[in-house]
Structure 1
Amino acid sequence: MVMAAIMASVPLSFSALLTPTSLPPPRRSSLPRNSCSIAPHLISSSSCSRKLSSYSASTSYLSSGQIGSVRCRATGEGSQPTFDDRMVYQGVYGPWTVDPSDIREVILYRLGLITAAASFVISSSAAFVPEGNILGDIIKQDVDFLYIIGAGGLGLSLLLIHIYVTPIKRFLQSLWVLGVIGSVGTYIMLAKPLNQSLIGYVISNPVGVWFIGPLFAALTGVVFKEGLCYGKLEAGILTFIIPGLLLGHLTGFIDDGAKLSLLGTWMALFMVFAARKFQQPIKDDIGDKSIFMFNALPEKEKKALLQNLDGQLE
C-alpha cells in the first residue's frame, strides 16, 4: 500500500546516516563511524568560508591527526549539558566550537519536539476520559487547535534538524508539508461539512489516514534518527508504534482495545522521548559541525581545504 511504503521508507532511508559517503572526505581519512550525530543548526556560506579558511590555516589542530572524533552518545553516558562555547571539538574537516546561535537553535529544536509531544498527549488523553466528562469535552472541542500546535512544533524541529545527507532532510520536510496540506484539505472538504473535527473524522473514517499520514511519517523519521544516533529505547519503540497504530487503524487489522493500548504507549514514550532531549549536551545535537560548514563552502574552497588537509596528513 502507498501508506505502508511511506512509513517504511523513512527508516530505510536513514541507513545512509551511518556512513555519509556522499560527502568528499579528506584523503587518508574517513568519516567517524558514529557520524549519525545530527543537529539543528544552519550555517551561512559566507561565515563558513571565513571559519574554515582560518581552520585550514591552523596546523596546531590538523597536524595532530585527530580528525573525526565527534560521535553520538546516549543520554546518561557521561557528559552533562554544557553551554561552553570555548570548547574546541575535532571534526572531519577541522576543529569547531559551539557558538550562541548553535545553542539557540538546539533549544528551539528541542522545544519543537516538546510542543509536539505535549499537544499530542493532551489531545489523545480524551480517548481515556469517560464520556460526558467536562475535561474530555473541552479537549474534544479544541482538538484541532492542539493538532495545529503539534504540527507547528514538529515543523519547527524539522526546519532546524541537522542531517548530513541533505536529501533525507528534504524528504522528511516534504512529508511534513504533504501532511499539512492533506490535513487542511481533509478538514475543509470532508470533516467540516459533517460538522466534525479533523481528528474526529479520521477516527470515524480510517481512510483519512491517507491524508494525514505523511505528517506522522515525518515524525517517525525524527524519532528513528534520535534512536539511531543516541541509542534511546523509547525512540526505537516509537519508530514501530507510530506507523503500527496508523496502519492498524487504516486497515482495520487491530481492534479498539489494541488501539488504545498502542495509543497509551505512544503517549508515554513520546513524553519521555521529548523530556530526555533536555538531558543531552548541546554538542550532541550539533554533531560534526565541520561537515556542514564544509558543505556550505564554494567548490574552489572545498578543493583548497581538502588539499590543505591532505598536506597536513602527509
Structure 2
Amino acid sequence: MAVLVIAEHDNAAIKPATLNTITAAKACGGDVAVLVVGQNAQGAADAAAKVAGVSKVILADGPSLAEGLAENVAAQVLSIASGYSHILFPATAAGKNAAPRVAAKLDVAQISDITKVDSPDTFERPIYAGNAIATVQSGDATKVITVRTTGFDAAAAEGGSASVEKIDAVADSGKSSFVGREVTKSDRPELTAAKIIVSGGRAMGSSDKFNEVLTPLADKLGAALGASRAAVDAGYAPNDWQVGQTGKIVAPTLYIAAGISGAIQHLAGMKDSKVIVAINKDPEAPIFGVADYGIEGDLFIVVPELVAAL
C-alpha cells in the first residue's frame, strides 16, 4: 500500500500545508510519495525530497502545469493514481479545486477535511461547523482525501533523502485557460501559516479604526491580521483576512480576538488555536467560552494599553 500526497508549492519551495498533509499520509500507513506538479519546479521537488518520512518524489514539469489549472493537475494525478491506495490533498483552495475532479474520475467518494486518521480506511472530520466530529469509513479501493492541515503537526522539513523521479507532463486539457492573477503582497506572515494572529470583529466600527487600533498590536507581535465574517461583510477588512467556516481555518500558537462575539461560524475557524485571548466588553460573549484568557473591557482602551505594555 502506497500513499500519494499532492504538494502545494511555488515551484521553488513547498508550502507549509504540504508538511501537515505528509504527516496525515504517514498515519495512513505505507510508503509516502509526493507529487510535485508545475513548471521549473525542480527546487520544490528537491525540497520535498528532504522531508522526513517521504520515500519518493515524483516531478511532473511542463508548460501545461505552469499555473496549476485544476483540470490539468487532476489529469496528472489520474495518470499515476492506479499505483496508490490513498491520494491526499491539503484542504486549501488549490487542493479543494483539484481533489473533487480526481474523485469523480475515479468514481469514488471524496473524504473531505479530515482531522484524524483512525486507521487506513477510517477517518475523522468535523461537521456542523465543528460542533460534532463524524467518523467516516471508506471501502473504496482508492481513497481521495483532503486534509485540514490544522489537525496535523507539520512533518520535519529536513531529515529525508528521497529520490526524485521525473515523469512526462500531461497535455493541456483545453478546458480552461489562465487569464491573470491578483496577488496580495504583505510584509506580514500568511494568515494560515502565522504563529500569532490578531483578529477584529464588527465592534471595530470602521476600516480606519480597524487599522488604527489593531495594526500597532500586530506590528509589536509580528502577527498576521484577521477578521470575523461580520467585519469583512461590513467592509472593515479585506476578504482574504476572514477567519471562519467560510473563510480560513487557522490554528496559531496565539490568537487574539478583539471585539469578536464568537459566532459558531468564526469559532469553527480558530478554536484549535493553542492559546486564545478574547477582548470584549460583553461578559456574555460566546468567545469567552473558548478563550484561555479573557479581558472584559472596551477594546479601544484595552488594546492601546496592551500595545503600550509590550
TM-score w.r.t. the length of structure 1 is: 0.23
Q: Which structure carries more strand by proportion?
A: 2
Q: Which of structures 1 and 2 has the bigger CA Rg? A: 1
TM-score w.r.t. the length of structure 2 is: 0.23
Q: Which structure carries more helix by proportion?
A: 1
